[in-house]
């Protein structure tokens, strides 16, 4: 905040995640600034709730019944277009066997589709409103909570269509910093770590095949 004010920055838009602390900080220090809740964080919140239902479902099952769900976390969380044929078959089996997980999985994909299909803000408003209604109708507490979150942050979510603003580049750079830490198993020298971060834009990350 101090650096921004010293620079006499005139902020119009700010893309943040949906944490209350971030929203409060922006509203307190930049009351005229438009808040945009990045779509990455909207979907991440939905994925967190889907994973909560998966864990809750597993806790209710006998040990021998857990085999269907064991190791299937990423099958549920992956975007459906990224699943291979085996994973698609596993997902269908999970959806058919566990009603709540089936509903959560389908509602997650419907939420993602809003960002893929809606071209204009008014289309997104209609789609999110209907999504929230359907989520509440399921009676699943995690979906009801997600619907409440969307309704509370509705304007900031829809602002994405008004501005096209996103924090994707920052999220990508944060992922690179995480990769850097994992490669070195952590850094004891903080100043050296900072220098390595400054060097990150020049670094090509090559995955082992």
Q: What is the dihedral of CA 17, 23, 27, 28, to 10 degrees?
A: -120
The reply to whether 190 falls in a domain is yes
Do 172 and 129 share a structural domain? no
Do 93 and 48 share a structural domain? yes
Average pLDDT over residues 167-188: 71
Cα within 13 Å of Cα(131), Cβ side? 27
* Distance in angstroms (rounded) separating the CA atoms of residues 70 and 52: 14
Which residue segment(s) compose the domain that 50 sits in?
A: 39-140
Do 173 and 129 share a structural domain? no
Do 191 and 127 share a structural domain? no
The pLDDT, as a whole number, for residue 98 is 94
CB 127 within 8 Å of CB 114: yes
Do 175 and 127 share a structural domain? no
pLDDT in tens, 52-73: 999 999 999 888 778 778 888 8
The pLDDT, as a whole number, for residue 209 is 38
Backbone angles phi, psi at 15, to 5 degrees: -100, 125
Token output for 50 = 């889907």
Helix, strand and coil percent figures for the chain, each rounded to 5:
75, 5, 25
The pLDDT, as a whole number, for residue 207 is 46
Residue 72 has a CB neighbour count (10 Å cut-off) of 18
Do 133 and 183 share a structural domain? no
Q: What's the N-to-C CA distance of the chain in angstroms?
A: 43
Angle between helix 121-138 and helix 154-163 axes, rounded to 10 deg: 150
Do 110 and 66 share a structural domain? yes
The pLDDT, as a whole number, for residue 168 is 60
| Total count of domains within the chain | 2
Do 192 and 131 share a structural domain? no
Query: Is it the case that residue 199 has pLDDT exceeding 90?
Result: no
User: What number of H helices and E strands is found in the chain?
Assistant: 11, 2
The reply to whether 145 falls in a domain is no
Do 190 and 97 share a structural domain? no
The reply to whether 151 falls in a domain is no
Which residues neighbour 18 within 8 Å (Cβ) at sequence distance 6 or greater? 37, 41, 42, 45, 149, 153, 156
Token output for 110 = 């419907």
């Amino acid at each position: 905040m101090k650096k921004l004010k010293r620079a006499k920055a005139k902020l119009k838009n700010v893309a943040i995640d949906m944490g209350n602390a971030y929203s409060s900080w922006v509203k307190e220090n930049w009351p005229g600034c438009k808040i945009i809740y990045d779509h990455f964080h909207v979907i991440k919140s939905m994925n967190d709730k889907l994973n909560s239902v998966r864990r809750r479902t597993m806790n209710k099952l006998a040990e021998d019944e857990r085999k269907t769900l064991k190791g299937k976390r990423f099958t549920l969380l992956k975007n459906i277009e990224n699943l291979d044929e085996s994973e698609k078959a596993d997902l269908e089996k999970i959806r058919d066997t566990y009603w709540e997980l089936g509903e959560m999985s389908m509602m997650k994909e419907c939420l993602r589709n809003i960002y893929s299909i809606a071209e204009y803000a008014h289309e997104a408003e209609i789609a999110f409103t209907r999504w929230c209604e359907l989520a509440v109708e399921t009676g699943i507490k995690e979906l009801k909570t997600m619907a409440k979150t969307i309704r509370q942050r509705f304007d900031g979510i829809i602002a994405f269509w008004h501005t096209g603003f996103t924090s994707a580049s920052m999220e990508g750079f944060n992922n690179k910093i995480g990769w850097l830490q994992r490669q070195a198993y952590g850094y004891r020298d903080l100043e050296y770590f900072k220098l390595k971060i400054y060097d990150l834009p020049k670094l090509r990350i090559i995955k082992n095949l």
